[in-house]
Amino acid sequence: MDARRRQLLSLAAAASALPLASPARALSAASGKLAKVGIALAAKHSLYHLPLVLADQLGYFRQAGVAVDFIVHDAGAHAMASLVSGKAEVVAGAFEHVFNAQYQNHKLQAFALMGRSPQVSLGVSTRLSGLKSLTELKGTRVGVTSIASSTHTMASQWLLLHGVLPEDVTFIEVGSSGGVLEALRSGGIDALCNPDPIMHWLEMKGEVLLVGEARSLQGAQQVMGGAVPGASLIAREEFLQRQPEVAQALTDGVVHALKWLKTSGPTDLFRYVPAAYWMNDRAAYLGAFEKLRESYAIDGLVQEDTVLNLWRAQARLTGRMQTSRVLLARTFNNAFALRSKARLKA
């Protein structure tokens, strides 16, 4: 009897050492089907969403038991609108969108962090080669993906930092694809705020002169006054409570991709990133990647102090500081990332 008991205890100990199976994977194995989820996002081709693209291309989402349908928009604000309207269950975008949703009484939470900086840059057209200070941007046209998107708010942050009010310039919506270059060359815009690799590519081609960057951790801290959270997976609180297995599977996929990124090299990157995302220029894509590589999240966890830093920076634009720190803690949910970190040893 004692020998049998020791054998059972030994088997139990061995089983407890194994990584836990994803709930979504367990459900898909039982039903024979993958759980489906729609993720709204903008600029899927950009390095901003690299962890998400890799999680899909490397098969990590399928391994976790989910089939992802990417709902692509021209700008992050439009992606958020599809989440609020119910057209998408999850959005991949800037953490700051959760603040904006709170103003409109939408209960959203970020549940998986992908970036530790805004990962965008501000450049002025080389037509304005005589520009000596950002204060001279008064009266100019600044291209952003869309109004209320992170490129819009970040451009406003740089302007404020140099004594220029956002209303002193005209913001032009140009998206984040081919129309950007056309807008620059035609004179439709005088400056541009966008993610990489397009900003690095434009800089290399002599189309823009970079005057602000929040792709690196240091650059982000300089303009935002401290470390801030960046790209995140965001969903309604109700969705996270109703479909925790799907949220867990998505987080598993993203954290797995973040872990892969820590040791990946150029060959690995080009093997899994779709060729269409390289802008026909491997050197430019790789150069852009190296500039912001450090800013990708480590384990999907959101740090509370970075949320407070972001809130303070955003408050400079909105003038709203009535939200308490307790409520700020409701803007994110680390439960899923904590499980993923433990499971994947990230």
Residue with the larger pLDDT of the pair 7 and 266: 266
Instruction: Please enumerate in sequence order all residues whose Cβ is within 8 A of that of 156, keeping only pairs 6 or more positions apart, or say none.
Output: 166, 317
Predicted structure pTM score: 0.89
Structure tokens at 259: 């872990």
253-269: per-residue pLDDT in tens? 999 999 999 999 999 99
Query: How far apart are the C-alpha atoms of 193 and 152, rounded to whole Å?
Result: 7
Question: Which pLDDT score is estimated for 325?
Answer: 52
Query: How far apart are the C-alpha atoms of 175 and 58, rounded to whole Å?
Result: 28
CATH number at 120-213: 3.40.190.10
Residue 56 pLDDT > 60 = yes
- Which homologous superfamily does the CATH classification assign to the domain defined by 22-117+228-344? Periplasmic binding protein-like II (3.40.190.10)
Give the pLDDT mean for 34-61: 96
Q: 41 near 70, Cβ under 8 Å?
A: yes
- Per-chain mean pLDDT for the chain: 88
179-234: per-residue pLDDT in tens? 888 999 999 999 999 999 999 999 999 999 999 999 999 999 999 999 999 999 99
Residue type, 238: E
265-288: per-residue pLDDT in tens? 999 999 999 999 998 899 999 999
Query: Kind of pairing, strands 170-173 and 208-213?
Result: unpaired
Half-sphere exposure of 48 (CA within 13 A, CB side): 32
Query: How far apart are the C-alpha atoms of 296 and 191, rounded to whole Å?
Result: 26
CATH 3.40.190.10 domain residues, the chain: 22-117+228-344, 120-213
